[in-house]
Structure 1
Amino acid sequence: MPLTPIKIFILICGFCSRFHAIEYPPVQTQNEVLHGSDVSLRCDVPLLSESSTLHWETDREETSNTTLMYNNSAYIILHTVDERNEGKYYCRLMKNRTVQTVRIHTLNVISHSYNAKNKNDTIYRQSSSNSDVLLICKSSKKYDSLKWTWEQRPNSLIDLIAVEKGKEVQLKGPIKPGRRSSTTYNSQALIFHISPVNFNYSGTYRCITNIGIYTTTVLRTIRVSVEPPDGVLRNQSVVLTCELSEVNDSVTLVWLRMEGNRGVLVKQQITTEKNNTLRFTVNLSSYETDPLRWQCAVFTENTLRALAPVTISLTSSTTNAPSISTETTTVKKHAAHKHGRHTLACVLTLFTGILLGALLYYCYRKRKSKCYSVHSDRQESEPVYINISQMRNNRERSNTLGNRENSPEIYRNIRRNRYGKPNVNIRDETPGTSESVTYATIYFNKSKFQT
């Protein structure tokens, strides 16, 4: 029976669907973890298109823990697991409105925190105000004494919290315990809660019983920052910095630009050397500052250990400026604002100068008027002695010419009477002869006197 084109198409579709089913078979894994430890799960697919999503779910609901999609993989981190985290975790791929289960992970939590393999349990925490660490020392046996110690650097052992049978809990050391720390004696469990986590809290924490070391937890802290810190223009370049404390093994730091839960690689750094603090920076150009959400991811052996998010904040003047032309307009507005402020300052300075000049001129006139008044009073209060004979000759000369304006100038002493009229008193002490000189005192009203 010959194959028609329709049959060939049906066979190809069936083969592709069968191949698709074989390509993504559900993989089942199972893992046992200690009580209080961190668990990182990973799910991979060969190719993840932009329209498809990959996420983790549990038996009860979609998990609300840390989730990241990066390089065709979905990651999830479970912090400080306990019995509530037990169960099945499903990694599911949604593509073309169909859902396919890619991986099934069964998680079993051991009731105690004792590590039989005597390995250090390393956890990572971001240094921030809402980050915390719960150090749980839980055993199946009873002990007379329990305590948590902290060794920030070699040979620097410090007791943080201790309890003995029949005694109250003793708080020691520089780290203030959080609200979930133990407050009463329990022969099988001792909890030390750190909240918030500071960057310098990294180090080795040990739970020690009256027999010896029970469990060891190594804390690595991570912090991120953005420069400038007070907000940037939309098209301004910025610097992102990621710091990791106490690097002792192979670690990969990655800066991711976030598009929803999907991370896009921008820069990564792999280090195998021992460092007290690993510093990893990335310089972002103007077009890369448009996405505001970024994350610094820490990987060890392809396992996601920590995520530290950072958000680039924009200044309010350029929040609605998505393009370069709009940015140029904003710059012009800033220039106009600056010019306007300069003009206003000049006007205020000029106005202040005018007021100051007017005040100085007023004070000068007032002082001059006062001085003139004092001088006039002084002249008016002094008696003046004149030659009577000379005054007669001048009067006769003025009568001859018929002009009163040519009368001699007379120095007078002014005294007002009670009616405001001048008083002229002349007293001759010697007979009036041509050679004799007579002295007189004249009082007159200056306002009504006419020469």
Structure 2
Amino acid sequence: MGTMGIALCWTVVWISGYCHSLSAEVLFQNKYFIDGQKDKVTLEAPTVTNGTEFIWEWTLHDGRHKKAPIITIKSNGHQTRNSRIKYDILLEPEFKHAGVYSFVQTKPVNVNLAQVEVFGVKVLPFTWDPVREGSDVSRSCEVSRLPESATLEWERDGDPTTNTTLLCNSTAYIVIHSSDYTQGKYNCTLRWNGQRIFSIYNTLKVIQGTYETSHTLYRGSFNGSEVVLVSRSSFVFYSRATWDWEPVLETREVLVTSAEKDKPALVSMERDTERFSSNVFNGNYFLLRISPVQFGDSGRYACHFDRTLMALITLVTIQVSAEFPADRTRNQSAVLNCEISQVIDSVTLAWLRMEGDRGVLVKQEVLEPLDKRTLSLTLPSLHRDQLHWTCVVFTKSMLRAQAPLHLTLPPAPTQTGLLEISLACAVAVCVGLLLGVFLLYRRRAASAPSTAPMAENGEPSAPDAVYNNVTDLHNDQAPSTSPVAENGEPDTVYSNITDLQNDQGNADTPAQEDEGEGLQYLSFSLSTPSTDPNRQQRQFNPGSEQESDTVVYSSINTE
């Protein structure tokens, strides 16, 4: 076979391979596994009858690695039913192994044959131990990637929970407040386009009785928040119960409520009687409810049955606020503040921007007991998609409490308001133009050669009245002569009312001596100074000597 024949054969092989690559159907699959499960995850490859080299590639969900090669498989391209090569692979069920896996034929041509997306699900803690009554139970459920049309939520016995839940990025959190009669099955459920994909459940068991228990509760301070402090004796009955409170940074104890057996409780917090309440003490069960929770309610609460300590609970509160400039507008900045009442152990404060039911982490900070207790977030300007925020507190990556903050945009100018502003601006411009023309006319008239009548001694006669403001100019229709001293010269002309008041207080102020032609006239200064050197303004100082061509300017305020 000649060179032409060999080239023709390779061309046919290449075309057939290219056509195969175009016609090959990619096999798409989705796999799910729970982090820590026993069984391995099997990734199945399609049955392949041709090709000499294949490869498995891996792209992590978090984007750190893209198409990282895992294993390369070589074949002679000829297989029989009894000697078929298996191209499947097995994965350890670890959360870090989640991602997109591709099975690709690399020789003789590159063809993508299969793609398997593996979703990892991690529930913390993996196993749920029994908890003491009255404590908060915090759990999290995370999926390696949460598609846009998918939902991840906690349910109790198949129904959505009434306790605190939060979806942040790809993690659903739940806080079961003051566990009492909350024993039951809790499910972490993933739904995609309304269809349930999987549901992972755990059973919560609550040990009744709080004898000598000690735990910490976190609550947000906002309307609608609530905390229930539970105290219960398992077997023994008592005759009297009390709740005492020791506020933060104080050593004194305050009696909050007390009750005799089978009698209504008496609340001692007179100013907060409506917020504090208790049940009828039946001898072994006594609770304290605070609703709504305020930031100053933090501290340590102790419950005694007779003289026996039944429960010791530390309440930590968080509050949120926003700071705006005095002249608040939409384009100005805002500062969001989240404050925690005390830091007992290491905690994490975080600001989340809420997008519907999901929160997007914007800023977080780890706080230690001796650190500051506030997390601030500055927004350069407010936008419509930045109005709903939540401050959350985590301990050991578990949600403990949250406090929402809803902002409002300043009202935008209405169409009527914009029209009124436009008309006002137009009128102001017209008035300014007319006033400018009038003032320019007066300046030119004032700079014209004087035609004042001459006195008998050849000196110009005293000028008519000099006006200090436009009102005097319009009101005085008939000219009147200024007061004349005994020597026939006019009295002092004042440039403003201050000079007039100052001179009236000094009876010995001498009249200005006229050494030549004294031309007094009214001049108005425009915003743009004149460039004519013959009309440049000079400062007028009453009582000082002036040159023979003295020009006196009056001042006018046009506001």
TM-score range, shorter chain: 0.5 to 0.7
The corresponding residue for 1:448 is: none
Q: Shift of the alpha carbon at 1:170?
A: 3.5
Residue 29 of structure 1 corresponds to 127
C-alpha displacement at 1:129, in angstroms?
2.9
Q: Distance in 2 between matches of 1:215 and 1:341?
A: 75
Paired residue for 2:359? 263
Cα offsets for 1:324-366 (capped at 9, x unmatched): xxxxx999668548759999xxxxxxxxxxxxxxxxxxxxxxx
Deviation at 1:81, TM superposition (A): 2.6
Shift of 1:187: 1.0
- Cross-structure match for 1:415: none
Local SS of the residue matching 1:256:
strand
Query: Are 2:200 and 1:103 equivalent residues in the alignment?
Result: yes
- Counterpart CA distance in 1 for 2:283 and 2:326 is 50
Structure 2 letter corresponding to 1:283: T
Select the residue among 225, 231, 244 that pairs with 1:131: 225
TM-score under structure 1 normalisation?
0.63
| Partners of 2:166 and 2:380 in 1: CA distance | 24
Rounded Cα–Cα distance in structure 1 between residues aligned with 2:231 and 2:332? 49
Which residue type is aligned with residue 208 of structure 1?
H
> Whose helix proportion is higher, 1 or 2?
1
> Quick one: distance in 2 between partners of 1:121 and 1:69?
26
Distance 2:300 2:420 in 1: 53
Q: Does the 8 Å CA contact 1:25/1:102 hold for their aligned counterparts?
A: no
Q: Percent identity?
A: 37
When residues 211 and 231 of structure 1 are mapped into structure 2, their CA distance, relative to the original with a 3 A threshold, is farther
| Aligned counterparts, 1:345-364, within 5 A | none
* Residue matched to 1:86: 183
8 A contact 1:175–1:194 mirrored in 2: no
Give yes or no for the alignment of 1:249 onto 2:282: no
User: Aligned equivalents of 2:231 and 2:321: distance in 1?
Assistant: 33
Are 1:181 and 2:277 matched, yes or no? yes
Q: For the structure 1 residues 159 and 64, does the alpha-carbon distance in structure 2 shift closer, same or farther, using more than 3 Å as the test? A: closer
Residue 308 of structure 1 aligns with an amino acid whose one-letter code is: A
How many residue pairs are counted as aligned between the two chains?
331
Residue of structure 2 equivalent to 1:192: 288
- Partner Cα separation in structure 2 for residue 255 and residue 80 of structure 1: 25
Q: Gapped runs of 5+ residues in structure 1?
A: 321-328, 344-451
Greater relative contact order, per chain length (Cα 8 Å cut-off, separation 6+)? 1
After superposition, the C-alpha distances for 1:255-314 in whole angstroms (9 at most, x for unaligned) are 111111211111111111336x71111001226663211111111110001111111111
Q: Which amino acid aligns with 2:404?
A: P
**Aligned residue number for residue 325 of structure 1:** none
Q: CA deviation at 1:175?
A: 6.0
Displacement of 1:126 in angstroms is 1.7
1:300 alignment partner, one of 370, 383, 395: 395
Contact 1:161–1:169 (CA under 8 A) maintained in structure 2: yes
Q: Check 1:331–1:36 CA distance in 2 against 1; reply closer, same or farther (3 A cut).
A: farther
Equivalences for 1:199-348 in 2 at 5 Å? 199-228=295-324, 233-274=329-370, 278-286=373-381, 290-317=385-412, 336=422
Alpha-carbon distance in 2 for matches of 1:95, 1:13: 26
How far apart in 2 are the matches of 1:159 and 1:173? 8
Residues 246 and 331 of structure 1, relative CA distance in 2, 3 Å threshold: farther
CA RMSD between the two structures: 4.1
SS at match of 2:278: coil
Matched, 1:39 2:137: yes
Contact 2:167 2:359 in 1 (8 A): yes
Secondary structure of 2:376's counterpart equals: strand
Quote how far apart the aligned CAs of 1:206 are.
0.7
1:209 to partner: Cα distance? 2.1
Q: Give the Cα separation in 2 of the matches to 1:110 and 1:342.
A: 79
> Structure 1's 37 and 24: CA in aligned 2 closer, same or farther, altered over 3 A?
closer
Counterpart contact for 1:42–1:74, Cα < 8 Å: yes
Tell me the secondary structure at the aligned position of residue 82 of structure 1. Answer: coil
Instruction: Single out whichever of 15-24 and 176-185 deviates more from structure 2.
Output: 15-24
Aligned partners of 1:222 and 1:245 also within 8 Å? yes
User: Is the contact between residue 225 and residue 291 of structure 2 (CA under 8 Å) also seen in structure 1?
Assistant: yes
Any idea what the Cα deviations from partners look like across 1:162-192, whole Å, max 9, x if unmatched?
Answer: 2245876443245634588336442111222
The answer to which of 36-45 and 250-259 deviates more is: 36-45
Does structure 1 retain, via aligned residues, the 8 Å contact 2:279–2:286?
no
Following TM superposition, by how much is the alpha carbon of 1:24 offset from its aligned partner in structure 2, in angstroms? 4.3
- The structure having more radius of gyration, on CA atoms, is 1
Question: Which amino acid in 2 is paired with 1:297?
Answer: V
Q: Secondary structure at the match of 1:200?
A: helix
CA distance in 1, matches of 2:157, 2:327: 42
Per the alignment, do residues 144 and 47 of structure 1 end up closer, same or farther by CA in structure 2, a change over 3 Å counting? same
Residues 1:234 and 1:162: Cα distance change in structure 2 (over 3 Å) = same
C-alpha contact (below 8 Å) 2:332/2:381 kept by paired residues: yes
TM-aligned CA deviation for residue 157 of structure 1: 1.1
Name the CA distance, whole Å, in 1 between partners of 2:231 and 2:428: 67
| Pair 1:102–1:9, CA change in 2 (3 A) | same
Whether the 8 Å contact between 2:226 and 2:291 is mirrored in structure 1 is yes
Structure 1 residues 287 and 184: alpha-carbon distance in aligned structure 2, compared to 1, 3 A threshold? closer
Alignment partners' CA distance in 2, 1:106 and 1:237: 47
Structure-1 separation of matches of 2:423 and 2:221: 40
Instruction: For residue 20 of structure 1, report the CA deviation from its aligned partner.
Output: 5.7
SS at match of 2:129: strand
The 3 A distance-change label for structure 1 pair 86 and 20 is: farther
Q: Deviations 1:194-214 (Å, cap 9, x if unpaired)?
A: 222221110000111224211
Using the size of structure 2 for normalisation, the TM-score is: 0.51
Change (3 A) 1:19 1:107: farther
Closer, same or farther: CA 312–180 of 1 in aligned 2, 3 Å: closer
Q: Deviations over 1:50-100 (max 9, x none)?
A: 3332111221412243222224211112222322x2211111222366433
Report the residue type matching 1:258 in the other structure.
M
Amino acid at match of 2:399: L
| 2:218 is aligned with 1:121 | no
Distance 1:52 1:104 in 2: 19
Whether the 8 Å contact between 1:26 and 1:102 is mirrored in structure 2 is no
In 2: Cα distance, 1:273 partner to 1:330 partner? 55
Alpha carbons 2:269, 2:276 under 8 Å: kept = no
The answer to whether the Cα contact below 8 Å between 2:351 and 2:389 also exists between their aligned partners in 1 is: yes
Q: 1:147-162 alignment to 2 at 5 Å?
A: 147-152=242-247, 153-162=249-258
Q: How far has the Cα of 1:148 moved from its partner?
A: 0.5
Cα deviation for residue 238 of structure 1 reads 1.2
Structure 2: how far apart are the matches of 1:305 and 1:231?
Answer: 37
Structure 1 residues 169 and 338: alpha-carbon distance in aligned structure 2, compared to 1, 3 A threshold: farther
Whether the 8 Å contact between 1:77 and 1:305 is mirrored in structure 2 is: yes
